[in-house]
Amino acid sequence: MADLGNVPNRSMRLFALITVICVGLLAFAFYLQHGLHLDPCPWCVVQRLVYIAVALIALVGVLHRPGPTGATAYACLGVVASLAGVAAAGYNVYLQSDPARAAKCVGSPVERILDSLAIGDLVPSYLQYDGPCTLKPWSFLGLSIPEWSFIWFAILVVLFLAIPFTAKR
């Protein structure tokens, strides 16, 4: 077995950080839903699913402890998933910026897809949506939930992009 030195350890730390960030954000979403009674909209559930996917990719990276090539492969998967999150959160921000657009959230293709896949039945207390896209019931530093989600997905993209450079050092 080749001695990879600290290469897997550097990548593993970034993968672990990404996993912790995603789990923390998912826990905070659970608190917002059940502690503050803010029901998620369909696009919120999509973002939760993407955070779960990103966390799983990073967790596999931690557990697998790949070399530089494997770390780069996991990082590429993570970038793609995180960019999907950027797109979902960005679209949610776009919807919330105009009441006429936000009304299109109800009965939208994404809602029909979530319904047909019965995503809400998997973990009803977490993946069932009941909220409208129009509400901005919570904000921190003037930013809404989807705006913060957009920022966090962008941070995850940057962290995943850093992995190949740390793995090759």
What domain range includes position 36?
A: 7-168
Q: What is the pLDDT of residue 161?
A: 94
Q: Mind listing the pLDDT tens digit for each residue in 84-115?
A: 999 999 988 888 887 777 777 766 777 777 76
DSSP string, 125-166: HHH-----TT----EETTEEHHHHHHHHHHHHHHHHHHHHHH
Q: Mind listing the pLDDT tens digit for each residue in 23-64?
A: 999 999 999 888 888 888 888 888 999 999 999 999 999 988
Q: Within a 10 A sphere around the Cβ of 141, how many other Cβ atoms?
A: 6
Q: Mind listing the pLDDT tens digit for each residue in 71-84?
A: 899 999 999 999 99
The reply to whether 107 falls in a domain is: yes
Q: Mind listing the pLDDT tens digit for each residue in 124-164?
A: 676 777 767 776 777 778 888 899 999 999 999 999 999 98
Backbone angles phi, psi at 122, to 5 degrees: -65, -55
The reply to whether 151 falls in a domain is: yes
The reply to whether 20 falls in a domain is: yes
Total domains in the chain come to 1
The reply to whether 1 falls in a domain is: no
CATH of the domain at 58: 1.20.1550.10
Q: Note the pTM of the prediction, 2 decimals.
A: 0.85
